[in-house]
Structure 1
Amino acid sequence: MATARIRANTPAASRRSHSARRRVHSAYPYWFFIAPALIYAVLFLVPTFASFYFSLTRWTLFTSTFIGFANFVQFFREPNLVQGLVNTFVYAAVTSGLKVVIGMALGVLLTSRIIARGWLRSVVFFPVLVSTIGVGITFSVLMHPTEGLINQVLALVGIQGPYWLTDPTLALISVALVDVWKGVGLATVIYVAGIVSIPQEYFEASRVDGAGPWTTFVNIILPLARPATVTVIILSLIGGLRSFDLIWAMTRGGPGFTSDVIASVIYKQYQAGFYGLSTAGNVILFLLVTAIILPLTWVLNRKVTH
């Protein structure tokens, strides 16, 4: 036995082991990656670098004039553009926070022993499958201040419904709540998968110790479902920071610019013919999402692994 251990620790054995590991990591030949690399370069790298260049120009479909960082300077001097940037942070924080909380609550509910559990899972996930534009138009009708079904139901119990989409203080939050309604099903599915993957021995030991539902949730589900929480946070933040279609379908950034986010502001600049300024906005959005998501992903995943 001692001789075997000595041979296993010799330099030759170490080299063979290292060579074997290296062969495992190189299971595919390098030419196998050429086609995906070309597709990635054409569809992502080239448009990305082209956007960086055109953000430094005043351009049309046929001409371009290099003007340096003037578009970026003008972007941050425009009050409406800065307001759109602030609204983007608010929208992303509200939607991602609510999706984490509600998604986890529904995940715990839909993994417990309840009647029609499979059917309820389908009902919760169904809004994810519906067209975002269709959801926006539907809720625009439901949230009409006088003829909408929501305010009519509130009137039956003596509550005067607010002007959901025309009140400057409520428009952005109203759209955010619809976004949560549509997207919380995906968060729920992720939490259901995370909770189901927890070994049952933990729950059995918890029941033997006489722990109640809240203690089980805090000491078992919450820490062991942390990878699911990280996934939901990252996906929800990316979606919130890049959100455009639901806001455009429901308010078009109004009333005024009170529900504009940076993506809708960029689209309005394209409509107005300010292509260079809108491209600079796209670059700012790209850098903003990258600067938030990459460090956050690293920090959260590092805590998960440790």
Structure 2
Amino acid sequence: MDKKKIYSTWFLVPAMAVFTVFFLIPLLLSLYFSLTIWNFDEVKFCGLQNFKMFFSERSLNTGVKNTMIYAVLTGGAKVVLGFLIGVFLTSSIKTKNLLRSIVFFPNLVSTIAVGITFTALMHPSKGLINKCLGLIGIQNIDWLGNTKLALFSVIGTDVWKGLGVASVIFIAGIQAIDKTYYEAAVIDGADKWKQLLYITLPLARPAMNSVIMLSFIGGMRSFDLIWAMTGGGPGYATEVVASAVYKQYAAGYYGLSTAGNVIMFLMIAVLAYPLQKFLLSREVD
């Protein structure tokens, strides 16, 4: 009995060592350096000054608001559209395997490549999107140069790229539902709409919860697509926490950028944990 207990404890050591070296120690160091003004030669303790500055500077605190908008809208769109596509691609259509490949294709393309491509497509005068809209009388929309449209343009691009993963997760979740539920519903006279509402939607909730969490956390951490398309501009219209952190680090404000990373970590932890608890509480047993 004692040997079994010793073995079970020692089996945890490799995992704990990896966790300590690659997560716990960097986290503690980040917390320390976020309270300092530092460079590669010296470190000066400044308390919470970096955090106060982060929330007092418009270029920085705007990033917090935009990050929340970005995470909620991209996550919500991926959940709704991914579920609808998942339902469609688990139906009896003959070309569903081909369509699944097409839907998943954007996820295989580099994020930077997608950003550069959509920047060209959204060019106000030469972009293909505006040329197509011009055929129906809509002229030269400045998708990325208009402060009111830029963030939503990037959000739309993010949804296009990430929709494939969400759809695949929904497809797997829907296909795992026992077919006898649908057979019983047909016997009871339930039409397709009622089957979707009372069988597919509740029983696909685990897949939906996975998509919500992945999309939300991914949206909170998003940087590469925004940087490729707008660089955080115009002005601060598409500035998010990650891009603000990068700019401060590039400018040599290492303590301030570290504080931004800590803020982003705390935002994700504080929001994601209760969200996960809430979603798990609503799953069908």
- Normalised to the residue count of structure 1, the TM-score between the two structures is 0.89
**Counterpart in the other structure of 1:58:** 37
1:167 has 2:146 as partner = yes
Distance 1:101 1:244 in 2: 23
CA displacement at 1:118 relative to structure 2: 0.6
Q: Aligned partners of 1:159, 1:71: CA distance in 2, in Å?
A: 46
Matched, 1:219 2:198: yes
2:94 is matched with which residue: 115, 131, 135? 115
CA drift of 1:303 comes to 2.2
Out of 251, 261, 269, the residue aligned to residue 248 of structure 2 is 269
Name the CA distance, whole Å, in 1 between partners of 2:275 and 2:40: 38
Query: Identity over the aligned pairs, expressed in percent?
Result: 52
Q: Which amino acid aligns with 2:166?
A: A
The structure having more radius of gyration, on CA atoms, is 1
- Give the letter aligned to residue 134 of structure 2: A
Deviation at 1:33, TM superposition (A): 2.6
- Identify the match of residue 47 of structure 2 among 68, 79, 83: 68
Whether 2:123 is the aligned partner of 1:140: answer no
CA distance in 1, matches of 2:182, 2:284: 22
Q: Which residue of 2 aligns with 1:244?
A: 223
Deviation larger for 72-81 or 238-247: 72-81
Do the aligned residues in 1 keep the contact of 2:154 with 2:226 (CA within 8 Å)?
Answer: yes
Question: 1:4: which partner in 2?
Answer: none
Contact 2:202 2:284 in 1 (8 A): no
Q: Is contact 2:202–2:283 with CA below 8 Å preserved after alignment?
A: no
Q: How far, CA to CA, are the matches of 1:210 and 1:39 in structure 2?
A: 55
Give the AA of the match of 2:233: G
- Runs (4+) of structure 1 exceeding 6 A deviation are 25-28
Secondary structure of the structure 2 residue equivalent to 1:304? coil
Q: Mapping of 1:36-47 within 5 angstroms? A: 36-47=15-26
Q: Please, what is the CA RMSD of the aligned residues?
A: 1.7
TM-score, scaled relative to structure 2: 0.96
CA contact (8 A) 2:205 2:284 kept: no
Structure 1 residue 87 displacement after superposition:
0.4
Cross-structure match for 1:80: 59
Shift of 1:161: 4.1
Give the match for residue 297 of structure 1: 276
Q: How far is 1:298 from its partner? A: 1.3
Partner residue, 1:15: none
Offset at 1:27?
11
Return the offset for 1:200.
0.3
- Note the alpha carbon deviations across 1:88-127, whole angstroms, 9 max, x for none: 0100111000000000000000000112111111111111
Instruction: List alignment gaps of at least 5 residues for structure 2.
Output: none
What is the one-letter code of the residue matched to 1:49?
A: L
Residue 257 of structure 1 corresponds to 236
| 1:129 aligned residue | 108
User: Which residue, out of 214, 238, 257, partners 1:278?
Assistant: 257
